[in-house]
Amino acid sequence: MKVLIIEDEPDMAALLAATLEPAGYQLRLERSGDEVEQILAEYDPQVAIVDVMLFGSQADGYEVVRRIRATEGHESTLVVVLTALVGSEYERRALEAGADIYMGKPFSPLELLNKLRQAEIITD
Amino acid sequence: MDGGDLYKHQLLEYAQDLAKAYTQIRQNQAEFLAALVSLLEMKAPAVRGHARRVAFWSLRLNDALGKPLDPGALQAAALVHDVGKLGLPDRLIQSWVASNSDDRRLVRMHPELGASLLEHVSAFSEWIPWVRHHHERWDGTGYPAGLAGGEIPLGARIIALANSFDYHVHDYGKGPAHTVAGTTAWIEKQSGGAFDPDLVAAFVSLPIEALWVNRLWIEEKA
* One-letter identity of residue A105: K
- Omega before B144 cis (within 30°)? yes
Q: What distance lies between CA B186 and its chain's CA centroid?
A: 21
Is pLDDT at A119 greater than 90 in this prediction?
no
Least CA distance to B1: which residue of chain A?
A84
Which residues constitute the domain of residue A69? Answer: 2-123
Q: Does B16 touch chain A (CB under 8 A)?
A: yes
Which has the higher per-residue pLDDT, B220 or A93?
Answer: A93
Compute the nearest-CA separation of B8 from chain A (Å).
Answer: 9
For chain B, what percent of residues have pLDDT higher than 90?
77
Put simply, the answer to whether A108 touches B7 (Cβ < 8 Å) is no
Q: Does B25 touch chain A (CB under 8 A)?
A: no
Compute the nearest-CA separation of B29 from chain A (Å).
Answer: 19
Band the pLDDT of B219: cuts 50, 70, 90.
Answer: very low
The CATH number for A81's domain is 3.40.50.2300
Is pLDDT at B49 greater than 80 in this prediction?
yes
Mean pLDDT rounded to a whole number for chain B: 92
Identity of the residue in A84, A106, A110 whose CB atom sits nearest the CB atom of B20 = A110
Q: What distance lies between CA B149 and its chain's CA centroid?
A: 19
Please write the tens of the pLDDT for every residue from A47-84. Answer: 999 999 988 888 899 999 999 999 999 999 999 999 98
Fold classification of B3-218 (topology level): Hypothetical protein af1432 (1.10.3210)
Compute the nearest-CA separation of B26 from chain A (Å).
Answer: 17
Q: Does B14 touch chain A (CB under 8 A)?
A: yes
Q: Does B13 touch chain A (CB under 8 A)?
A: yes
Put simply, the answer to whether A12 touches B9 (Cβ < 8 Å) is no
Put simply, the answer to whether A15 touches B9 (Cβ < 8 Å) is no
Please write the tens of the pLDDT for every residue from B81-137. Answer: 999 999 999 888 887 777 788 999 999 999 999 999 999 999 999 999 999 999 999
Percent of chain B as helix, strand, coil, to the nearest 5 = 65, 0, 30
Q: Does B20 touch chain A (CB under 8 A)?
A: yes
Q: Count structural domains, chain A.
A: 1
Put simply, the answer to whether A108 touches B13 (Cβ < 8 Å) is yes
Put simply, the answer to whether A107 touches B6 (Cβ < 8 Å) is no
What pLDDT does residue B181 have? 93
Positive or negative: CA dihedral B131, B133, B135, B139: negative
What pLDDT does residue A86 have? 80
> What is the mean pLDDT of the segment spanning B177-191?
94
Looking at A103-117, B58-72, B144-158, B186-200, which range is the least confident one?
Answer: A103-117
Identity of the residue in B10, B14, B21 whose CB atom sits nearest the CB atom of A105 = B10
Q: Cα torsion for B188, B192, B193, B194, to the nearest 10°?
A: 70
Q: Cα torsion for B127, B130, B133, B139, to the nearest 10°?
A: 140
What pLDDT does residue B29 have? 95
Report the run of H or E that residue A6 belongs to, with start and end: strand A2-6
Q: What is the DSSP letter of B153?
A: -
Rg of chain A on CA atoms, in Å: 13
Least CA distance to A113: which residue of chain B?
B17
In this prediction the ipTM stands at: 0.81
- Omega before A106 cis (within 30°)? yes
User: How many CB atoms are located within 10 Å of the residue B40 CB?
Assistant: 22
